[in-house]
Structure 1
Amino acid sequence: MKYSTGIETKRKIIDAAFQLMADKGFDAVSIDDIMTSIGRAKGSFYVHFKSKEELLYEVMRIRLDRGHGQMAEEILKELFKDNCNVRAILERVTAEVHVSSGEDYLTWAFAYYHLLTHSRKDEFVREWLETNADQWSAFLNMIVKRGQELGQIRTDVDTQTITNMCMGIVLGYDILFMFKPRIDVNEVYHIHDWMFISDPFSKNE
């Protein structure tokens, strides 16, 4: 029972820090703020974390990481099939990105961009963000390159340029959503129109 209660308390601390970080920014949040919000004594914080910075790194790992491990394995299998529809794959990836941000996408967006601000003075955070971006870039680059090989994506634009634009579109919508929360992120799919030559399955419909 004590073990399970400890796990629950740690989860509550991480969730509270995530929410408060979105509301106020990491630097403006104190350990007292976090523990008061979950109704626990400040001393219990140090049972789970050595410092506020260690807590931040757990928030990054659990609540802010848009990892793609399992999705990547599934997509790799689809990507090299003869009847591969690269547009459908790219749109699925875009949808998964937003789903992975959690039910409250607006909270995620604010927390993430407070993290970007904090990265200017925290080398660990900056390196984590860079590594995360590099992993996504390599993953998307592979999808775009496959689309070009299959004649589904235009080849008059460099593969990495298209990859960077895909990432920029998603990040741009993250920012836009912060002050226009009613915006439909599905618009991203229509922005893909310029890069695709045609839908390889449209003639079969």
Structure 2
Amino acid sequence: MKYSTGIETKRKIIDATFQLMADKGFDALSIDDIMTSIGRTKGSFYVHFKSKEELLYEVMRTRLDRGHGQMAEEILEELSKDSCNVRSILEKVVAEIYANSGEDRLTWAFAYYHLLIHSRKNEFVREWLETNADQWSTFLNMIVKRGQELGQIRTDVDTQTITNICMGIVVGYDILFMLRPQIDFSEVNHIHDWMFINDDKSSEKE
């Protein structure tokens, strides 16, 4: 019973930090704020975390990581087929990116961008963000390159440039979402129109 209670308390600390970080930023957040919000004492915080920074890293890992590991194998298998529809694959990836933000996307967006601000003075956070961005760039670059090889994506624009634009669109919509929460994320798929060629033919291959 104590073990289960400890797990539950740790989860509540992480959840509360995630929400409070979105509301006020990490630097303005105190351990007292976190523990008061869940009705626990400050002493119980140190049962689960050595420091506020250690808690931040756990929030990054469990709440803010939009990793593609879970879908990578499936995407790679689809890309290996000559009949694959790269546009549908890209749309699936974009949908998964937003799905990985969780049910409360607005909280995720604000927490993530507070993390970006905090990264200016925290080397570990900055490196984590850079690594995360590099991993996504490599993954999306592979999809775009495959689309070019199959004649589904234009080749008059460099592969990495298209990849950077795709990533920029996602980031841009995250920012726009913070200003206009009612925005329709499916618009992203229409913005991709400029990069695809022979789209009707590729759709017929499905």
- State the match for 1:43 in structure 2: 43
1:90 partner SS: helix
Give me the identity figure in percent: 85
| Cα deviation, residue 202, structure 1 | 3.8
For residues 118 and 81 of structure 2, the distance between their equivalents in structure 1, rounded to whole angstroms, comes to 42
Structure 1 segments (4+ residues) deviating >4 Å:
none
Aligned residue type for 1:165: I
| Cα deviation, residue 161, structure 1 | 0.2
For residues 3 and 203 of structure 1, the distance between their equivalents in structure 2, rounded to whole angstroms, comes to 55
- State the match for 2:161 in structure 1: 161
- State the match for 1:82 in structure 2: 82
- The question of 1:117 aligning with 2:121 is answered no
Aligned residues: 205
Matches within 5 A, 1:51-66: 51-66=51-66
For residues 198 and 21 of structure 1, the distance between their equivalents in structure 2, rounded to whole angstroms, comes to 45
What TM-score does the superposition give when structure 1 sets the normalisation length?
0.98
Aligned residue type for 2:95: A
For residues 126 and 203 of structure 2, the distance between their equivalents in structure 1, rounded to whole angstroms, comes to 43
- State the match for 1:175 in structure 2: 175
| Cα deviation, residue 82, structure 1 | 1.6
8 Å Cα contact 2:152-2:196 kept in structure 1:
yes
For residues 54 and 79 of structure 2, the distance between their equivalents in structure 1, rounded to whole angstroms, comes to 38
Aligned residue type for 1:148: Q
- The question of 1:25 aligning with 2:25 is answered yes
For residues 149 and 174 of structure 2, the distance between their equivalents in structure 1, rounded to whole angstroms, comes to 30
| Cα deviation, residue 70, structure 1 | 1.5
Q: Could you tell me which runs of 5 or more consecutive residues in structure 2 were left unpaired when the two chains were aligned.
A: none
- The question of 1:137 aligning with 2:131 is answered no
Q: Deviations over 1:44-77 (max 9, x none)?
A: 0000000000000000000000011120111000
What TM-score does the superposition give when structure 2 sets the normalisation length?
0.97
| Cα deviation, residue 201, structure 1 | 4.0
| Cα deviation, residue 198, structure 1 | 2.4
